[in-house]
Amino acid sequence: MRSNNNNNYKRDHNSFSTNKAGLTVEVRNGDFTKALRIFKKKVQEAGIIQEYRDRQEYVKPSKKRAKAKAAGRARWLKKLAKDKQDRGF
């Protein structure tokens, strides 16, 4: 029997964190709350929490499309409401 030499599965598990150094924040003058706010902002910008939540469970492609379409519709309706309010209709 031939063994399967496809090692792509190993690469997929290691691709979760592309930045090996990680996020760091310097605490200056013992101001931990400011350092925590800066850290949270960096995590938000990097999209780490969102990626973690996305990977928690499998979502079918049709559900992804439906969710994206609903989000687009919500953005459009929000824009229409804002335009209506600005114009005074």
Write down the H helix ranges in the chain.
Answer: 8-14, 32-46, 48-55, 61-87
Query: Per this entry, what is the length of the chain?
Result: 89
pTM strictly above 0.95: no
Q: What is the reported pLDDT for 5?
A: 61
CA distance 39 to 24: 7
Q: CA-to-CA distance for 20 and 24, rounded, in angstroms?
A: 12
Residue 71 pLDDT > 80, yes or no?
A: yes
Residue-range domain boundaries for the chain: 1-57, 59-89
Q: What is the pLDDT of residue 83?
A: 93
Q: What is the torsion angle, in degrees rounded to the nearest 10, for the CA atoms of residue 8, residue 10, residue 12 and residue 18?
A: -120
Q: What percent of the chain has pLDDT over 90?
A: 70
Q: For 23-39, write each residue's pLDDT tens digit.
A: 899 999 999 999 999 99
- CB-based contact 80:89 (threshold 8 Å): no
Q: Check residue 55 and give its pLDDT.
A: 93
Q: What is the pLDDT of residues 2-23, one digit of tens each?
A: 555 655 555 455 445 555 578 8
